[in-house]
Amino acid sequence: MSNDAPWLSQGLKHIWLPYTQMKTVPAPIGVRSASGVHLTLEDGRRLIDGVSSWWTTVHGYCHPHIEAAVKAQIETIPHVMLGGLAHEQAYRLATRLAAMCPGDLSRVFYSESGSVSVEIAMKMATQYWLNKGTRRTRFLSFKGGYHGDTFMTMSVCDPEEGMHSLFTGVVPDQLVVDLPQDEASIKSFEDTLTRYGHEIAAVVMEPLVQGAGGMVFHSADTLARIRKACDAHNILLILDEIFVGFGRLGTMFACEQAGVVPDIMTLSKALTGGTLPLAATIAREHVFDAFYTDDPGQALMHGPTYMGNALACAAANASLDLFESEPRLEQVSAIGRGLETGLAPARDIPGVVDVRVRGAIGVIQVEEMRELDDLKRRFVEAGVWVRPFRDIIYTTPPYVISKDDLAALTSAMVEATHAWSKDVGFA
Ligand SMILES: *Cc1c(COP(=O)(O)O)cnc(C)c1O
């Protein structure tokens, strides 16, 4: 592997990496440059990016339109505080997001990361009820869900899930139930709402696809059922579209496919096209109205230092331009078809239990993950950047990937998985 760059070996003694046991981690792979769907490594090799840098770079790397917007912005206003001062990019972006979002989702609160945008959504929901004179202290979420790594968001993630299970009893105890998908789970969901409904500030969920929980899909019907139940029990619905928002499932927002409008929606990952950190918590009118009074004590007391950063908002505006001028959603459906064909042969690999595709997400699920580092190494050797986790090997390519690159990506995935399956002894 390409670990010869001095900045890498020196820095490795000082950097603390995400989700990583630093003692046993193989050295990460140095990237020298990135362009379109390709990563050029320090040793000169080129990989097709099958991940889109944690699902962000939907237009590919270094898109000239986003680059130009950020360059122009840094020469005028890189950042000004949003308290008392205003700049065009943040205001224009809020106007555009409000116009794009379904229903009357129309008030945009900015932050810098997905986790924080979910924290803000939960704080908003709690205060919504307080401002209305009732105290609701609990949240209901679903097994398999993921909403971030900060303390409050950990409490609504799947509690059994390896990443956060250590913190059981430390983070607030929430109601985490099965997604209502069959008779038993529907009944238990309804029973929980009947029993605790008056204590629940909001239901928090990822619509249609649970991403970090293992790329698990559910139907639009399930989402519609949850919206209905929230209405019936007078509970707010927070949809976390941080992963699926901005076209990943073939519609701009996943909730559109179920005809559902959440009370609060969170967006981040692809918001700036993978260039700068930015997140948004977007509320409907009736949520905003609960804060819109003559009482200063009813204001939302939140304000991240870098909220509405001008560079990030310029990048986001440029990304939205590309969604308007380029056939991104058609590209997503073409990718979906390419993934169906390209990954289908994986069904016959010993150890593979499922192959599934939704929008521009392709998943090979295995019986059990073995020799994970070995599997990762095989993908790099095959010329693709794919980062398997839990029991899945998945791809979420940039929407601009060509037909040939997509075919190369899927066949590398299938071949590497096949060779790995043989070696680790799946029969
Ligand atoms: C990534 C993700 C988050 C957390 O976003 P960060 O920017 O990593 O804090 C929250 N919810 C979902 C659905 C995500 O995919």
* Residues 29-61: tens digit of each pLDDT: 999 999 999 999 999 999 999 999 999 999 999
Tell me the average pLDDT across 327-331. Answer: 98
What is the separation of C-alpha 400 from the centre of its chain, rounded to a whole number of angstroms?
A: 19
Catalytic residue of the set 128, 146, 394, 399: 146
Q: What's the rounded Cα separation, in Å, for the pair 339 and 228?
A: 33
User: Any idea which of 26-40, 152-166, 193-207 has the lowest mean pLDDT?
Assistant: 152-166
From the CB of 274, is ligand 1 less than 6 Å away? no
Strand residues in 257-318 grouped as ranges (E)? 264-267, 279-284
Q: pLDDT for 277-312, tens place per residue? A: 999 999 999 999 999 999 999 999 999 999 999 999
Q: pLDDT for 363-378, tens place per residue? A: 999 999 999 999 999 9
Is the pLDDT assigned to residue 202 strictly greater than 70? yes
Domain segments of the chain as ranges:
6-59+327-423, 65-325
pLDDT at residue number 163: 74
> Which residue type sits at 204?
V
pLDDT at residue number 211: 97
As beta bridge partners, residue 282 has: 108, 265
Catalytic residue of the set 49, 61, 110, 240: 240
Residues whose CB is less than 8 angstroms from the CB of residue 195 and which lie 6 or more positions away in sequence, other chains included: none
Q: What's the rounded Cα separation, in Å, for the pair 202 and 126?
A: 8
Q: How many whole angstroms from 51 Cα to the centroid of ligand 1?
A: 15
Catalytic residue of the set 110, 128, 263, 269: 269
Q: Report residue 4's pLDDT band, with 50, 70 and 90 as the boundaries.
A: confident
Q: Is 240 a catalytic site residue? A: yes
Q: Which of 111, 90, 78 has its CA nearest to residue 303?
A: 111
Mean pLDDT of the chain: 96
Report the Cα–Cα distance between both ends of the chain, in Å, rounded. 30
From the CB of 263, is ligand 1 less than 6 Å away? no
Q: Domain 6-59+327-423 classified CATH 3.40.50.300? A: no
From the CB of 115, is ligand 1 less than 6 Å away? yes
Task: Tell me how far CA of residue 200 lies from CA of 68, 141, 160, 186, 188, in angstroms.
Answer: 46, 10, 21, 18, 16
DSSP string of 121-169? HHHHHHHHHHHTT----EEEEETT----SSHHHHHTS-TTSTTTGGGTT
Q: Is 146 a catalytic site residue? A: yes
| CATH tag, 65-325 | 3.40.640.10
From the CB of 124, is ligand 1 less than 6 Å away? no
**Beta-carbon-side half-sphere exposure of residue 244 (alpha carbons within 13 Å):** 28
Quote the pTM value: 0.97
Is the pLDDT assigned to residue 258 strictly greater than 60? yes
Is the pLDDT assigned to residue 386 strictly greater than 80? yes
356-391 burial, b at 16+ Cβ within 10 Å, e below that, comes to bbbbbbbbbbbeebeeeeebbbbbbebebbbebbbe
